[in-house]
Amino acid sequence: MQVTRILAVRHGETAWNRDTRIQGHTDIELNEHGRWQATRLADALRDEPIDACHASDLLRALETAQAVARTRGQNVTTHTGLRERCFGRFEGHTWAELEHRFPEESLAWRKRVPDFAPTGGESLLQLEARVVSTVQEIAARHPGEQILMVAHGGVLDILYRAATRLGLQAPRSWELTNTAINRLLWSPEGLSLVGWADAGHLQSEHGKTTLDERHA
């Protein structure tokens, strides 16, 4: 049985990441540091066999994927199913603002209540269903190949949980670093984890590691 190898990557940094503002489906471009991260990612993957490049259609993910694709003369295929979780009225706010304005909803988010959805947004259950089905659909097109998949923190969190069979409410202990390289295998039986959070190409970066959705 042929498997699909997946290089799963979170987009580079944006101004809203730096300001700790919730992005969700709000379309924010990379900042200067994010573009540097994307360039370093492209350099790190230069000698990797990549048969196809896929990305969320949101600009921060697309720009990151294009930095890799350009070095290889490839195009990027976009998928709305790889978008970040929609946070509805949470988007544009910092965590401190959310705790002040929507304390009950913020508590439900912090506790990772699976069926909780911010007003106008998605629940974790909805996000999980969307992401898993999208990744399965994409990976099934590439048996025996290796593909790049650039998405968002919430998407990468779902993929890690799916690959390690962890529930949605399990505390997070893994990193979701911007442009770190995460390696997964997909077969019709599901996802499995090969390697996670390889950020060696960002050795000169001194930013904090993101462990939750506050920078999504």
- Measured CA to CA in angstroms, residue 201 lies from 12, 42, 46, 71 at distances of 13, 10, 12, 16
CA distance 83 to 98: 22
- Measured CA to CA in angstroms, residue 101 lies from 13, 65, 89, 97, 104 at distances of 26, 35, 11, 6, 9
180, two tokens: 């770190």
Active-site annotation holds for 213? no
167, two tokens: 């529930």
Active-site annotation holds for 152? no
Q: Which mean pLDDT values do the consecutive 10-residue runs of the chain (216 residues) have? A: 94 96 97 98 97 98 98 97 97 93 93 96 98 98 98 98 97 96 97 97 61 45
**pLDDT in the model for residue 204:** 67
**pLDDT in the model for residue 216:** 55
Sign of CA dihedral 51, 188, 173, 211: positive
Residue with tokens 């999208």: 134
**pLDDT in the model for residue 174:** 96
* Architecture label for domain 4-215: 3-Layer(aba) Sandwich (3.40)
**pLDDT in the model for residue 213:** 44
**pLDDT in the model for residue 203:** 86
Please pick, among 84, 105, 122, 128, the residue that the annotation labels catalytic. Answer: 84
Please pick, among 11, 25, 93, 215, the residue that the annotation labels catalytic. Answer: 11
